[in-house]
Structure 1
Amino acid sequence: MRRFLGLLVAVAISAAAALSVVRLVAPADGDSGVRRQLAFLRSELESGGADDAQQLFPEGYFFSYVLYGLTAVDLGRLDDARWALSRLESDAGRAPFAGDMPVQYGIFYRGWVNWLRGGILARQPAASRDPAQVQAFERDSADIAAGFDASPTPFLPSYPGQAWPVDSTVAVASLRLHDKLLSPAYDVTVIRWLANVQARLDPATQLIPHTANVDTGEPTSGAQGTSQSIINRFLPEIDPEFARQQYTRFRTWFLSAPLGVGPTVREYPAGTDGPSNVDSGPLVLGVSLSATVVTIGAAKLHGDDTLAAGLARFGEVAGLPFYTPGTKRYVFGAYPIGDAFLAWSKAAQPWVATPAIEPPSRALSRWWQLPLLTLFLAVGLAPWLLAAALRRRRRPA
């Protein structure tokens, strides 16, 4: 019996190692896998998953629905996207964003909602667009632009007295989307915003900072991976040249492979460390799993196909995907908000920038998989080598 149990354990270990090898070298599933993720996420949302996410961080409810809606737009599932938008425009969707701010409900709420609404409109022929939604998109775009035009800083508050530049980046991208879909109106606003941003970069990295003074826009903290991954997802939609410069610096400062295992994305620039937070999640050797996931989408929009594929394949190994009939979830579905970010990243495609901007000159090395393949080979062979060594040791002289 002991021998039989030992054999089962050995087979299980080797099978897990072989499965990891397959997931590492095979292309990550595309839209079909994302659709299965959306099926899982829809069931979670209908069961109160957004309220559960709200207990984890202040924008948990909002991100659960907005990421579901944005991914649905990328897949052409507009009914699902409209359903998500209706939840965001409810009292529950707006609840965390009360307070007196230049743009009502803050630039975080207004920017992401405007981007989602614009994406829904972009997927429809002009003649079939809902006039009420077009009017709302026009109104919200005008409010956002007026907020930037009247502000001495390019970084409007997301909450009273608090400004995160990433949120303003999303909002400005929505103005670019407006000008692509409807009558161009905000080119001057966007050009002024870009100039003001470039005058307020993080001195250490020359990247857009993580937080900024709400009155002046001057950086109050340096660049961080969780915000940089989203910023670099949206900058190509705003200005391809500035986006290329920022993405090159982001890659230099944040892409890493600790202990030879990667690719991954750090939360803090290379050579520095700091505490984890609700956005980054626990940091392992300086790596933020959330920033690593979101960078898949940023890499796709920058034409960095080798990095996008590498990050996605690494995620198929580290994320422990679990399949049921019709659904797919990671880490056995324990953190649906993580599935939402991953689905949004894997489905990424440009909404304004056409074509995608020029890819970076330095591709991800084809040898990045070698350390992991060596590890999986060693793990897969270890039970059999150990058993052979024990048999040899027991053999009579």
Structure 2
Amino acid sequence: MSASSTAALPVIVIGAGPVGLAAAAHLTARGLTPLVLEAGPVAGSAVRAWAHVRLFSPWGEVIDPAAEKLLAPTGWTAPDPSAYPTGGDWADRYLQPLADALGERVRYGARVTGVSRAGRDRIVDADREAQPFVVHVAHADGRQELLSARAVLDASGTWSTPSPAGASGLPALGEEAAADRIAYRVPDLTDPAVRARYAGKRTAVIGTGASAFTALASLADLARAADGGGTRAVWVLRRGLTGSTYGGGAADQLPARGALGLAAKAAVEQGHADAVTGFRTESVERDGDRVVLVAEDGRRLDAVDELVVLTGLRPDLSFLSEVRLDLDERLQAPVELAPLIDPNQHSCGTVYPHGHRELAHPERDFYLVGMKSYGRAPTFLALTGYEQVRSVAAALSGDPAAADRVELALPETGVCGGSGLFDTPAPTVRQNKVGCCGTPAGGCDT
């Protein structure tokens, strides 16, 4: 196929979440034709799965500028930029209207099952970059479809692949057999059926990030409620409690993010949650309708009624086996991006400004963007994804100056000197005038 005919093909975007839809808006603004393929039935299907959870970023930081311009002629009214949406608010008041504004450029019930080059598996070099991408799609009605694209942006996220309870990264022994007692999402305690499942029960929460904080705070609220008598939480940490365990608190430039950590701290201090430290889960044993966690060192916790596993997310790379990716061996993030987001090194979740160059792979014009680009790193903010797709859209449109221009500043966590995510010693951190962790001011994330 000639270069001119390839250029006439659409840019396929995988996923109609916040970053995928923002990518479509930026591509449209650049005169390119996006085609967004969403596996779910509506825009933001993954976001809707945590509709009850409130974001720690306000509306003003979760709406993409190009998307806002696309929405303006439709009569859309921007929410109060200082208010904090829930996942449901974000999906209903922004993502779905944006998808509606994009119209036929968004297709639902379209799950991507494979990406490659036309007539070229990953082994073949000859004339590879002159060939369009081919994208295999399975539709909700059972149809199979083969689409061609000039470029592919994978914004499918990591929501569908949560990490297991096992500290080795593999499912703990017995974890799958205890699936009926395990949740891998923050429970929606506003749902009467879910509330009844946890009320008056003993629940173990494994994890140390914002999701774990949210779960602990929610369970503590339930314990204080009239219908929650006897509700208890056991907070299982793979490391010890330190000054940075609960985040930056009042020093966090995203106040709601800092408040999450403080709420988790209050749950422990007020006796609604017991913290168990240095516990690396090896197995999950059944005890009737309850489960028992067993650590690698042989410790056994008292039986719990429910287990909530919030140990992070990981990218699904199964449908990209024929695409030439250059991924970091630890994080599964693009190799040029990984050092900038590695939580082993960036003790306050520092995010350096980055765009198309750090996201590039040996497969030209293929990009992982949004949460998926971070692989297993837990440091992503929507602002980061919006900047990524702005840069990538500029690069695909032939505007290298705009693609290389930095247009990103992120709020600091207020925590330096240990990520709290891993058990490795915190690296020596140089403090200077440019901000936390010796990076440009505003460059810290969690």
Say yes or no: TM over 0.5.
Answer: no
**Between structures 1 and 2, the one with greater strand share:** 2
**Between structures 1 and 2, the one with greater helix share:** 1
Provide TM-score, normalisation by structure 2: 0.29
Q: Flag the structure with more relative contact order, 1 or 2, with Cα contacts below 8 A and sequence separation at least 6.
A: 1
